[in-house]
Amino acid sequence: MPEQNRIQKIRNHPGSASFLATILAIFSGLLLGFLIMLLAGPSAAGNGILVVLTGGIPVALNAAKQLGQIFYQAVPVLLTGLSVGFVFKLGLFNIGVAGQYTMGLFFAMYAAFSFPLPSGVHWVVCLLAGMLGGALWGTLTGLLKAWRGVNEVIAAIMLNYIGMYLVDMWVQGNTAMYEASRARTKYIPASAQLPSLGISGSNLNIGIFLAIGAAVLLWIVLNKTVFGYELRATGLNPDAAVYAGMNSRRNILVTMLIGGALAGLGGACTILAPAVIPGSSVTYEPINVIAQAGFHGIAAALLGGANPLGIIFSAIFISLIRRGGSAAALYGYRLEIIDIVIAVVIYCASFSLLIRELTEKIGQKRTGAGAERSEMTKKHRTRKESGMTDRGKKEGGDTAWIR
Amino acid sequence: MEEYVIEMRHITKRFPGVLANDDITLCLKKGEIHALLGENGAGKSTLMSVLFGLYQPEKGEIRKNGRTVKINNPNDANRLGIGMVHQHFKLVENFTVLENVMLGMESCRFGFLDRTEAEQRVRELSERYHLQVNPDALVEKISVGMQQRVEILKMLYRDNEILIFDEPTAVLAPQEIGELLQIMKGFAAEGKSILFITHKLGEIMAVADRCTVLCKGKYIGTVEIEKTTREELSRMMVGREVQLTVEKQEQSAGEEVLSVEKLTVAAKHGKKPAVHNVSFSVRSGEIVGIAGIEGNGQTELVYALTGLLPVAKGKLILRGKDITKASVRERSLAGISHIPEDRHRHGLVLDFSLAENMVLRRYREPEFAKYGFLKKDAMEEYANRLIARFDVRSGSGADTVVRSMSGGNQQKAVIAREVDREHTLLAAVQPTRGLDVGAIEFVQRELVECREKGNAVLLVSLELEEILNVSDRILVMYEGEIVGEFDPKKTTAQELGYYMAGAKQTGGTAKEQTGKKQENKSLEASGKEEG
């Protein structure tokens, strides 16, 4: 009997349902992706999907480097994902991660080029500057929402464009930063680059630890603190939060500030990555394109069920299949195929939420009150779709992927 | 053996984890009013949904005039002459009465709607049964009582012989209730058979011929109303003796706790304020009851008092302190407890655990928080204490997700939280809405206990019986104003009812309330408890 109770408890735990939903989403997404690959090139589809799933590690010339790059590219996905997931707990959709990410990237670059600081201090200042940039941009959305009632999605989409054009303008107008002949930024000073983890050929750096640390910290904030309690209460039932005397304006601001700072940190970690070839660095090209990292972050947040710990895995997974996708070029597949697979995974995630809601509804008919939940899931759904409609451009080589 | 029009024999209906109907037998005679009585979740609505074809039972059979029938959907039910007035009306709001009645049975000529014939029939029916419905009126413009009559017309238009009424009086004013009961009696006299679901014993005693009682999905028995008493019915329903009237000590009120001075609150829609120039006071050791038909400003009055709505004009003074502009938290700390009208909207975070919900108004107090971190152990302990004291039942104690609890226990949780915290004024809005007799008894006793401890209580209720039973002083609200003050010992439900429907009129029929739309949203809360 107690054994049965435990099983019951695990089965009833909300976490297990969302975990199942995630697994289901990934599985059906990959299945559909496989079908698409079959259509695109039937002969190599089997090998192709295997390469995608393994992140291209088995076929890479340097497996360690490939693994390193997977984790390196997971950092911005993870940090922007955390941003989206955290803000989502309050019931808001932070589609503005892309803008906050770009702002963070620029602030970090600015600190890197403008403050001549000793190494060991310089990159720390640059990271903090990046967080500040993202936080400013996030807070702007929060201010509009809290004081003027502007829908955060609309405000954030606008701010994405404003931020991107501003940054591109600032970059091009800054001779210390911009190398007009190459249409990209100059190499970041070595003192501003993050400490490498020492995998040769890989940009992997301490950023991954910062990101995972941030995830754990967020989890603690959400589940153990008074602030997290207010945040969750507001997200689950804003009316009850008001009734309980919570200050919704302040909570919106603080949450957007934290969300923005996370996305900004993502931007900073990307641009400050240590160079693979000494004397060079990651660079930024002001080509008027919204940063794609933000949209990957949205995907990671949804796939991770907006749970900080879940997002760690979903971000790494997304990075893995993206790297795998690049490697699938060996079999003649283009990266667009992988974008489709990711898109399908996300769509399936929303479907599995739907399925979960349906089963819950049947179970709850008597206890009543499915209304709020379905409201929430509706939000989920529309949010997901809006995230999908604005996917950025494809990515190219190693420097352009930060876009 | 008597002739039954409908026999539901040995009906068993199971939902995942719950046996909603367990071997229930209900037989309906021709021309009788048969009441169906039971607590929340007793299985009344499930049983009626089975009869109306919304659910299929696992076991049992349904017979119409002795012949076994299978009812797969409401259309089948309709063909068999079974009609139902749902608790939440199924009307198209921006259609006229006539269009609503015709809907699904449109008479056509050359592909065009033929209204004339239908209109004539609707007028005929309306006249014959004294329904006084205007077929051309827009449904959204007529009162709730009239909307209900449209639902009744729909059944009559379809020549239904078996009429199911699912808690029809819950939304009506006393006068309207009286009229509805008369209409029902008229139907029965014409040979139509009526199934009448209700919580209210008084109505059963007034109109029903027989009554079937369900308890926790089980059949308890069927009794002749002539040979039974209210006490017996409530005992059958709850399974124990229930005190129907709350016992109260004589007690004189103390100093003034709350003073409301010329309060005006803007309405959400429209220019007319929801609360207009209202002044009254509540003293310690006193329960002030506010009676009124739903939508006459009671909700807004309490929202303004607790800080959920801004005050447009006037002043709120709590124990000498002006709280007109104070935030919700400040008011809460100043000693206002609030049992909200809509527990799902305001009172609870349904996806939080019981422990998390129990501290919803106190989580910042040092007892539960330190250095910005929540003290989970203290929360759990506190929740367990409240659970024990208020007998809140749940699947797994303090860890239970509140959404999974029954409506009655959710309400108990809210009441436990608000009553237990330090307070000087308790604003209780519809604290017993949708609760069964046993739970009502409990809640009313808690209110009286608050009063005996010297707290001030402001009780807003649509149930006149409750207002009369519990209050020390009664204020009646009509269209945002207080139209009368009464001593419960010297007034009657009838007198209050006239004031509730607009003091100066004599008839007090539903017509006068035209245009007053019911807030359907808050009604849903009470509807959901039904099994």
Say how many C-beta atoms besides its own lie within 10 A of residue B526's C-beta: 22
The third-level CATH classification (topology) of the domain covering A72-331 is ABC transporter involved in vitamin B12 uptake, BtuC (1.10.3470)
Question: Would the pLDDT of B344 be above 90?
Answer: no
What backbone phi and psi angles, to 5 degrees, belong to A98? -60, -45
**Rg of chain B over CA atoms, in angstroms?**
24
B348:A240 CB<8 A: yes
Q: How far apart are CA B459 and CA B447, in angstroms?
A: 9
Interatomic CA distance for residues A226 and B364, integer angstroms: 7
Quote the pLDDT of residue A400.
Answer: 37
Contacts with A16 from chain B: Cβ below 8 Å: none
A103 contacts A293 by C-beta, under 8 angstroms: no
Give residue B427's pLDDT band: very low, low, confident or very high (50, 70, 90). very high
Closest CA of chain B from A90, distance in Å: 13
pLDDT digits (tens, 9 = 90+) for B255-274: 889 999 999 998 877 678 88
Residue B520 predicted with pLDDT over 50: no
- Two tokens, residue B77: 């039910």
Query: Whole-prediction pTM value?
Result: 0.72
Identify the weakest region by mean pLDDT among A298-307, B329-338, B419-428.
A298-307
Confidence of residue A33 (pLDDT cuts 50, 70, 90): confident
Question: How many cross-chain Cβ pairs, A to B, lie less than 8 Å apart?
Answer: 100
| Mean pLDDT across chain A | 80
Nearest to A236 among B18, B349, B376 (CB): B349
pLDDT value at B487 more than 80: yes
Note whether A157 and A389 are within 8 A (CB). Answer: no
In this prediction, residues B122-146 reach a mean pLDDT of 87
Q: Is the pLDDT of residue B440 over 80?
A: yes
Confidence of residue A358 (pLDDT cuts 50, 70, 90): low
Domain ranges, ordered by start, for chain A: 72-331
* Chain B environment of A8 (Cβ under 8 Å): none
Band the pLDDT of A380: cuts 50, 70, 90.
Answer: very low
On average, the pLDDT of chain B sits at: 84
Q: Is the pLDDT of residue B473 over 90?
A: yes
Highest mean pLDDT among A124-133, A175-184, B138-147, B267-276: A124-133
Tell me what the mean pLDDT of segment A77-97 comes to. Answer: 92
pLDDT score recorded for residue B517: 38
Task: Test B20 with A244 for CB contact under 8 angstroms.
Answer: no
- ∠ CA A166-A170-A172, nearest 5°, is 120
Cα–Cα distance for residue pair B362/B369, rounded to 1 Å: 9
Would you say residue A265 has pLDDT above 60?
Answer: yes
Give the pLDDT confidence score for residue B503 in this predicted structure.
Answer: 57
- pLDDT recorded at residue B241: 67
**pLDDT over 80 at A373, yes or no:** no
Distance from CA of A111 to the nearest CA of B (A): 33
User: DSSP for A122-167?
Assistant: HHHHHHHHHHHHHHHHHHHHHHHHHHH---HHHHHHHHHHHHHHHH
The domain segmentation of chain B, as residue ranges, is 4-81+161-238, 97-153, 274-335+422-531, 346-421
| For testing contact with chain B, the best of A242, A367, A377 (most B CBs within 10 A) | A367
**pLDDT at residue number B15:** 76
Tell me which of B121 and A198 has the higher pLDDT. B121
Three-state SS string over B406-470 comes to CHHHHHHHHHHHHHHCCCCEEEEECCCCCCCHHHHHHHHHHHHHHHHCCCEEEEEECCHHHHHHH
Q: Which of B372, B376, B531 sits opposite A366 (nearest CB)?
A: B531
% of chain B at pLDDT higher than 70: 92
In this predicted structure, the answer to whether residue B174 has a pLDDT above a threshold of 60 is yes
- The stretch A202-227 carries a mean pLDDT of 93
pLDDT for A401 equals: 43
In terms of CA atoms, which chain B residue is nearest residue A13? B401
Min Cα–Cα distance to chain B from A26, Å: 26
Residue A240 touches partner B, C-beta closer than 8 Å = yes
Q: A196: pLDDT confidence band, cut at 50, 70 and 90?
A: confident
Compute the average pLDDT of residues A113-127: 89
Pairwise CA distance, residues B392 & B384, whole Å: 9
For residue B29 the two structure tokens come to 């005679």
Residue B184 CA to its chain's centroid (Å): 20
- Look at A105 and B89; give whichever has higher pLDDT: A105
Q: Which of A175-184, B81-90, B187-196, B521-530 has the highest mean pLDDT?
A: B187-196
Chain B residues with CB under 8 Å of A380 CB are none
**Cβ pair B374:A224 closer than 8 A:** yes
8 A C-beta contact, residue A194 and residue A274:
yes
Q: Do B17 and A363 touch (CB under 8 A)?
A: yes
Distance from CA of B164 to the nearest CA of A (A): 20
**Of B15, B332, B376, Cβ closest to residue A366:** B15
CATH architecture of structural domain B274-335+422-531? 3-Layer(aba) Sandwich (3.40)
Interface check A4 vs B, CB under 8 A? no
Position A357 pLDDT exceeds 80: no
More confident residue, A118 or A10: A118
Instruction: Give the distance from residue A102's alpha carbon to the nearest chain B alpha carbon, in angstroms.
Output: 32
Taking the domain B4-81+161-238, which CATH number applies? 3.40.50.300
How much is the pLDDT for B343? 86
Query: Touching check for A233 and chain B: CB below 8 Å?
Result: yes
Looking at residue A388, its pLDDT comes to 31
Residues of A in contact with B377 (CB under 8 A): none
Using CB atoms, pick whichever of A226, A244, A369 lies closest to residue B360.
A244
pLDDT value of residue B479: 86
pLDDT for res B265 = 92
ipTM computed for the complex? 0.74
Its sign, for the CA torsion A14, A16, A21, A25, is positive
Dump pLDDT digits (tens) for B2-33.
578 999 999 998 876 678 888 999 999 999 99
Tokens of A352: 């599995």
Please say whether the dihedral angle defined by the alpha carbons of residues B254, B256, B257 and B260, taken in this order, is positive or negative: positive
Which among A65, A68, A30, A72 has a CA at the least distance from the CA of A51?
A30
Give residue A106's pLDDT: 95
Q: Is the pLDDT of residue A255 over 90?
A: yes
Using an 8 Å CB-CB cutoff, list chain B residues near A362: 16
Residue A240 to residue B404, Cβ atoms within 8 A = no
Q: Which residue of A has its CA nearest to B307?
A: A243
Residue B16 to residue A362, Cβ atoms within 8 A: yes
B531 vs A239: CB contact, 8 Å cut-off?
no
- Does residue B166 register a pLDDT over 90? no
A240–B346: do the CB atoms touch at under 8 Å? yes
Residue A225's pLDDT band (cuts 50, 70, 90): very high
| Chain B CB within 8 Å of residue A239 CB | yes
Distance CA A255, CA A228 (A): 10
**Contact list, B401 vs chain A (CB under 8 Å):** 14
Distance from CA of B315 to the nearest CA of A (A): 20
| Cα-based distances in Å from B185 to A329, B33, B38, B148, B206 | 81, 8, 22, 16, 10
Q: Note whether A369 contacts B350, CB cutoff 8 Å.
A: yes
Residues of B in contact with A232 (CB under 8 A): 349, 352
Instruction: Please answer yes or no on whether A364 and B403 come within 8 Å at the CB atom.
Output: yes
Q: Average pLDDT of B154-172?
A: 87
Per-residue confidence band for A392, with pLDDT thresholds at 50, 70 and 90:
very low
**Would you call A240 and B18 a contact, using CB atoms and an 8 Å cutoff?**
no
Cα B525 to chain center, whole Å?
A: 9
Give pLDDT, residue A177: 86
CA A357 to chain B, closest CA, distance in angstroms equals 14
User: What values do phi and psi take at A56, rounded to 5?
Assistant: 75, 10
Q: Touching check for A2 and chain B: CB below 8 Å?
A: no
Range ranked top by mean pLDDT from A60-69, A261-270, B85-94? A261-270
CA distance B227 to A120: 92
Which residues of chain B are within 8 Å of residue A224 when distances are taken between CB atoms? 373-374, 376
Closest CA to A213 of A79, A74, A83: A79
Query: Which span out of A19-23, A320-324, A366-370, B38-42 was modeled with the highest average pLDDT?
Result: A320-324
CB-based contact B18 A366, cutoff 8 Å: yes
Residue of chain B whose Cα is closest to the Cα of A367: B406
User: Which residues are within 8 A (CB) of B322 and not within 5 positions of it... i.e. 6 or more apart?
Assistant: B315, B316
Q: Which residue has the higher pLDDT, B490 or B524?
A: B490
CB contact under 8 A, B524 and A371: yes
Per the CB < 8 Å rule, is A240 touching B345? Answer: yes
Confidence tier at B243 by pLDDT (50, 70, 90) = low
For A323-349, the pLDDT digits (tens) are 888 888 888 777 777 777 767 766 776
- Shortest distance, CA A372 to any CA of chain B (angstroms): 9
